[in-house]
Amino acid sequence: MEILCKLSSDQIKLTGEKQYASFYLANDVNRDDIKAGQKLFSKQIKFIKGVTSTTYMPSEGYNEVCFSGRSNVGKSSLINNLTSRNSIARTSKTPGRTREINFFLLDQNKFLVDLPGYGFAKVPLKEREKWERLVRDYFFQSQNLRRVFLLIDSRHGIKSNDIKLMEILGEAGVTFQIVFTKFDKVKEACFNEMFRVSIGKLASHANAYPEVLVTSSKKKHGIAILRATISKLFSS
Ligand SMILES: Nc1nc2c(ncn2[C@@H]2O[C@H](COP(=O)(O)OP(=O)(O)O)[C@@H](O)[C@H]2O)c(=O)[nH]1
Ligand SMILES: [Mg+2]
Protein backbone atom coordinates (compact mmCIF):
# COMPACT_ATOMS: atom_id res chain seq x y z
CA MET A 1 0.00 0.00 0.00
CA GLU A 2 1.30 3.38 -0.96
CA ILE A 3 0.90 6.22 1.46
CA LEU A 4 1.26 9.62 -0.11
CA CYS A 5 3.47 11.54 2.19
CA LYS A 6 4.27 14.76 0.45
CA LEU A 7 2.00 17.73 0.24
CA SER A 8 3.17 19.87 -2.63
CA SER A 9 3.96 23.50 -1.93
CA ASP A 10 1.11 24.34 -4.27
CA GLN A 11 -1.36 22.64 -2.05
CA ILE A 12 -0.01 24.33 1.04
CA LYS A 13 -0.78 27.65 -0.65
CA LEU A 14 -4.16 26.36 -1.68
CA THR A 15 -5.30 25.56 1.80
CA GLY A 16 -3.69 28.61 3.33
CA GLU A 17 -2.39 26.33 5.99
CA LYS A 18 1.11 26.08 7.25
CA GLN A 19 2.85 22.81 6.69
CA TYR A 20 3.96 21.50 10.04
CA ALA A 21 5.45 18.24 8.92
CA SER A 22 7.35 17.10 5.90
CA PHE A 23 4.50 14.79 5.00
CA TYR A 24 0.92 14.58 5.26
CA LEU A 25 -1.61 13.59 2.90
CA ALA A 26 -4.24 13.70 0.37
CA ASN A 27 -2.51 14.62 -2.83
CA ASP A 28 -5.62 14.52 -4.92
CA VAL A 29 -7.28 17.74 -3.79
CA ASN A 30 -7.04 20.77 -6.04
CA ARG A 31 -8.18 24.37 -5.91
CA ASP A 32 -11.70 23.50 -7.05
CA ASP A 33 -12.02 20.76 -4.43
CA ILE A 34 -10.98 23.20 -1.71
CA LYS A 35 -13.54 25.73 -2.92
CA ALA A 36 -16.27 23.12 -3.15
CA GLY A 37 -15.42 21.98 0.39
CA GLN A 38 -15.65 25.52 1.68
CA LYS A 39 -18.98 26.00 0.00
CA LEU A 40 -20.41 22.74 1.28
CA PHE A 41 -19.45 23.52 4.86
CA SER A 42 -20.62 27.12 4.72
CA LYS A 43 -24.20 25.88 4.76
CA GLN A 44 -26.35 25.75 7.84
CA ILE A 45 -25.78 22.33 9.37
CA LYS A 46 -28.69 20.78 11.20
CA PHE A 47 -28.84 18.11 13.90
CA ILE A 48 -31.41 15.56 12.76
CA LYS A 49 -31.38 12.86 15.40
CA GLY A 50 -29.38 10.69 17.78
CA VAL A 51 -30.18 6.98 17.85
CA THR A 52 -29.22 4.09 20.12
CA SER A 53 -30.57 1.55 17.66
CA THR A 54 -30.23 1.43 13.89
CA THR A 55 -33.98 0.82 13.70
CA TYR A 56 -34.43 4.55 14.11
CA MET A 57 -31.74 5.82 11.79
CA PRO A 58 -32.69 7.95 8.77
CA SER A 59 -33.30 5.47 6.05
CA GLU A 60 -33.46 6.69 2.51
CA GLY A 61 -32.13 8.87 -0.23
CA TYR A 62 -29.02 10.30 1.35
CA ASN A 63 -25.26 9.94 1.27
CA GLU A 64 -23.19 10.00 4.38
CA VAL A 65 -19.69 10.05 5.80
CA CYS A 66 -18.99 9.02 9.31
CA PHE A 67 -16.53 9.92 12.07
CA SER A 68 -15.30 7.36 14.52
CA GLY A 69 -12.54 7.07 17.09
CA ARG A 70 -11.61 6.49 20.70
CA SER A 71 -13.20 8.66 23.36
CA ASN A 72 -11.28 11.91 23.76
CA VAL A 73 -9.59 11.60 20.36
CA GLY A 74 -10.95 15.04 19.44
CA LYS A 75 -13.94 13.98 17.36
CA SER A 76 -16.41 16.58 18.62
CA SER A 77 -13.79 19.32 18.28
CA LEU A 78 -13.06 18.26 14.71
CA ILE A 79 -16.72 18.16 13.70
CA ASN A 80 -17.26 21.56 15.33
CA ASN A 81 -14.29 22.91 13.40
CA LEU A 82 -15.37 21.48 10.08
CA THR A 83 -18.79 23.00 10.45
CA SER A 84 -17.53 26.23 12.06
CA ARG A 85 -20.01 25.76 14.86
CA ASN A 86 -18.87 25.77 18.43
CA SER A 87 -21.22 23.21 19.82
CA ILE A 88 -22.85 21.26 17.02
CA ALA A 89 -21.19 18.13 18.35
CA ARG A 90 -20.94 18.39 22.12
CA THR A 91 -17.32 18.68 23.18
CA SER A 92 -17.59 16.43 26.14
CA LYS A 93 -15.25 16.61 29.08
CA THR A 94 -16.43 13.19 30.25
CA PRO A 95 -15.04 10.59 27.84
CA GLY A 96 -17.38 7.82 26.83
CA ARG A 97 -20.56 9.65 27.69
CA THR A 98 -22.08 9.99 24.26
CA ARG A 99 -23.67 6.68 23.38
CA GLU A 100 -25.72 7.61 20.39
CA ILE A 101 -25.12 7.68 16.67
CA ASN A 102 -25.77 11.31 15.79
CA PHE A 103 -26.93 12.39 12.36
CA PHE A 104 -26.25 15.89 11.07
CA LEU A 105 -27.68 17.14 7.81
CA LEU A 106 -24.97 19.02 5.96
CA ASP A 107 -26.78 19.79 2.77
CA GLN A 108 -29.63 18.27 0.88
CA ASN A 109 -29.32 14.49 1.33
CA LYS A 110 -25.84 14.70 2.79
CA PHE A 111 -25.24 13.51 6.29
CA LEU A 112 -22.32 13.72 8.69
CA VAL A 113 -22.59 10.86 11.13
CA ASP A 114 -20.96 10.98 14.56
CA LEU A 115 -20.41 7.56 16.10
CA PRO A 116 -20.06 6.96 19.84
CA GLY A 117 -16.44 6.86 21.02
CA TYR A 118 -14.79 3.72 22.32
CA GLY A 119 -11.81 2.62 24.36
CA PHE A 120 -12.69 4.35 27.58
CA ALA A 121 -11.31 2.10 30.34
CA LYS A 122 -14.11 2.70 32.85
CA VAL A 123 -16.89 1.55 30.56
CA PRO A 124 -18.25 -1.81 31.77
CA LEU A 125 -18.15 -4.84 29.47
CA LYS A 126 -21.90 -4.73 28.93
CA GLU A 127 -21.67 -1.17 27.64
CA ARG A 128 -18.80 -2.10 25.37
CA GLU A 129 -20.81 -4.98 23.93
CA LYS A 130 -23.70 -2.60 23.35
CA TRP A 131 -21.35 -0.24 21.52
CA GLU A 132 -20.07 -3.02 19.32
CA ARG A 133 -23.55 -4.21 18.44
CA LEU A 134 -24.64 -0.68 17.57
CA VAL A 135 -21.67 0.17 15.34
CA ARG A 136 -21.70 -3.26 13.73
CA ASP A 137 -25.39 -2.85 12.89
CA TYR A 138 -24.71 0.61 11.56
CA PHE A 139 -21.81 -0.40 9.30
CA PHE A 140 -23.66 -3.41 7.95
CA GLN A 141 -26.98 -1.65 7.43
CA SER A 142 -26.02 1.78 6.15
CA GLN A 143 -26.63 1.77 2.43
CA ASN A 144 -24.98 5.01 1.44
CA LEU A 145 -21.96 5.27 3.67
CA ARG A 146 -19.21 6.67 1.46
CA ARG A 147 -16.34 6.49 3.91
CA VAL A 148 -15.50 6.30 7.59
CA PHE A 149 -12.98 8.79 8.93
CA LEU A 150 -11.15 6.97 11.68
CA LEU A 151 -9.64 9.49 14.05
CA ILE A 152 -6.34 8.69 15.71
CA ASP A 153 -4.69 10.83 18.39
CA SER A 154 -1.26 11.94 17.12
CA ARG A 155 0.19 11.35 20.59
CA HIS A 156 -0.92 7.74 20.84
CA GLY A 157 -1.17 6.25 17.36
CA ILE A 158 -3.28 3.23 16.45
CA LYS A 159 -4.34 1.12 19.46
CA SER A 160 -5.86 -2.36 19.70
CA ASN A 161 -9.42 -1.08 19.88
CA ASP A 162 -8.84 0.96 16.72
CA ILE A 163 -7.74 -2.26 15.05
CA LYS A 164 -10.89 -3.93 16.33
CA LEU A 165 -12.93 -1.21 14.60
CA MET A 166 -10.91 -1.66 11.40
CA GLU A 167 -11.72 -5.35 11.50
CA ILE A 168 -15.45 -4.68 11.85
CA LEU A 169 -15.20 -2.25 8.94
CA GLY A 170 -13.38 -4.89 6.93
CA GLU A 171 -16.14 -7.42 7.56
CA ALA A 172 -18.75 -4.85 6.54
CA GLY A 173 -16.75 -3.90 3.43
CA VAL A 174 -16.54 -0.22 4.37
CA THR A 175 -13.54 1.94 3.42
CA PHE A 176 -11.95 3.99 6.15
CA GLN A 177 -9.47 6.84 6.07
CA ILE A 178 -7.16 7.65 8.95
CA VAL A 179 -7.32 11.22 10.29
CA PHE A 180 -4.64 12.04 12.84
CA THR A 181 -5.90 14.57 15.39
CA LYS A 182 -4.25 16.99 17.86
CA PHE A 183 -1.21 17.40 15.66
CA ASP A 184 -0.32 20.56 17.61
CA LYS A 185 0.30 18.43 20.70
CA VAL A 186 3.26 16.43 19.40
CA LYS A 187 6.82 17.20 18.48
CA GLU A 188 7.71 16.38 14.91
CA ALA A 189 10.10 13.55 15.79
CA CYS A 190 7.46 11.85 17.96
CA PHE A 191 4.87 12.28 15.26
CA ASN A 192 7.17 10.77 12.64
CA GLU A 193 7.75 7.71 14.78
CA MET A 194 4.05 7.32 15.63
CA PHE A 195 3.23 7.76 11.94
CA ARG A 196 5.68 5.09 10.86
CA VAL A 197 4.35 2.58 13.39
CA SER A 198 0.71 3.39 12.57
CA ILE A 199 1.19 3.09 8.84
CA GLY A 200 2.74 -0.33 9.46
CA LYS A 201 -0.42 -1.39 11.28
CA LEU A 202 -2.59 -0.28 8.38
CA ALA A 203 -0.76 -2.36 5.83
CA SER A 204 -2.82 -5.50 6.38
CA HIS A 205 -6.17 -3.72 6.06
CA ALA A 206 -7.29 -3.76 2.45
CA ASN A 207 -10.13 -1.37 3.23
CA ALA A 208 -7.79 1.37 4.48
CA TYR A 209 -7.82 4.35 2.14
CA PRO A 210 -4.22 4.85 1.02
CA GLU A 211 -3.93 8.48 2.04
CA VAL A 212 -4.06 9.82 5.54
CA LEU A 213 -4.96 13.24 6.88
CA VAL A 214 -3.32 15.22 9.66
CA THR A 215 -5.36 17.72 11.61
CA SER A 216 -5.38 20.03 14.57
CA SER A 217 -8.65 21.53 15.67
CA LYS A 218 -6.79 23.95 17.87
CA LYS A 219 -4.63 25.33 15.03
CA LYS A 220 -7.21 24.68 12.28
CA HIS A 221 -4.67 22.47 10.56
CA GLY A 222 -5.89 20.13 7.82
CA ILE A 223 -9.49 21.30 8.12
CA ALA A 224 -9.78 22.70 4.58
CA ILE A 225 -8.41 19.49 3.09
CA LEU A 226 -10.80 17.36 5.12
CA ARG A 227 -13.70 19.52 3.93
CA ALA A 228 -12.50 19.12 0.33
CA THR A 229 -12.15 15.37 0.77
CA ILE A 230 -15.73 15.10 2.07
CA SER A 231 -17.06 17.30 -0.69
CA LYS A 232 -15.37 15.09 -3.29
CA LEU A 233 -16.85 11.97 -1.73
CA PHE A 234 -20.32 13.43 -1.98
CA SER A 235 -19.91 14.49 -5.56
CA SER A 236 -18.32 11.31 -6.89
N1 LIG B 1 -4.41 20.68 21.73
C2 LIG B 1 -5.48 20.17 21.15
N3 LIG B 1 -6.49 19.70 21.92
C4 LIG B 1 -7.59 19.18 21.31
C5 LIG B 1 -7.69 19.11 19.90
N6 LIG B 1 -8.87 18.52 19.60
C7 LIG B 1 -9.47 18.26 20.78
N8 LIG B 1 -8.73 18.64 21.81
C9 LIG B 1 -9.02 18.51 23.26
O10 LIG B 1 -9.16 17.12 23.58
C11 LIG B 1 -10.23 16.90 24.47
C12 LIG B 1 -11.25 15.93 23.86
O13 LIG B 1 -11.81 16.54 22.72
P14 LIG B 1 -13.26 16.14 22.18
O15 LIG B 1 -13.46 16.87 20.90
O16 LIG B 1 -14.30 16.32 23.23
O17 LIG B 1 -13.04 14.59 21.93
P18 LIG B 1 -14.10 13.42 21.64
O19 LIG B 1 -14.32 12.71 22.95
O20 LIG B 1 -13.41 12.56 20.66
O21 LIG B 1 -15.34 14.05 21.08
C22 LIG B 1 -10.82 18.28 24.77
O23 LIG B 1 -10.25 18.76 25.97
C24 LIG B 1 -10.39 19.12 23.59
O25 LIG B 1 -10.25 20.48 23.90
C26 LIG B 1 -6.60 19.62 19.10
O27 LIG B 1 -6.57 19.59 17.87
N28 LIG B 1 -5.54 20.13 19.80
MG1 LIG C 1 -17.33 13.87 21.70
Q: Mind listing the domains of the chain with CATH numbers? A: 9-235 (3.40.50.300)
Which H or E run includes 86?
A: none
In the predicted structure, residue 13 carries a pLDDT above the cut 50: no
Contact 215, 78 (CB under 8 A): yes
Question: In testing the pocket of ligand 1, which one of 72, 187, 226 has its CB within 8 Å of the most ligand atoms?
Answer: 72
Residue whose CA is at the smallest distance from ligand 1 atom 5: 182
229 ligand 1 Cβ < 6 A: no
Where do the DSSP E strands lie in the chain?
Answer: 46-51, 63-69, 101-107, 110-114, 145-153, 176-181, 213-214
Which percentage of the chain shows pLDDT scores above 70? Answer: 82
Give the ligand whose atoms come closest to the C-alpha of residue 118: 1
In the predicted structure, residue 183 carries a pLDDT above the cut 60: yes
Q: Which of 8, 9, 21, 30 is nearest to 228 (CA)?
A: 30
Calculate mean pLDDT across residues 126-134.
Answer: 90
pLDDT of residue 147: 97
pLDDT of residue 155: 96
Give the ligand whose atoms come closest to the C-alpha of residue 73: 1
pLDDT of residue 18: 42
- Tens-digit pLDDT profile for residues 31-79: 898 899 999 999 888 888 889 899 998 877 689 999 999 989 999 899 9
Calculate mean pLDDT across residues 142-168.
Answer: 95
Calculate mean pLDDT across residues 4-18.
Answer: 43
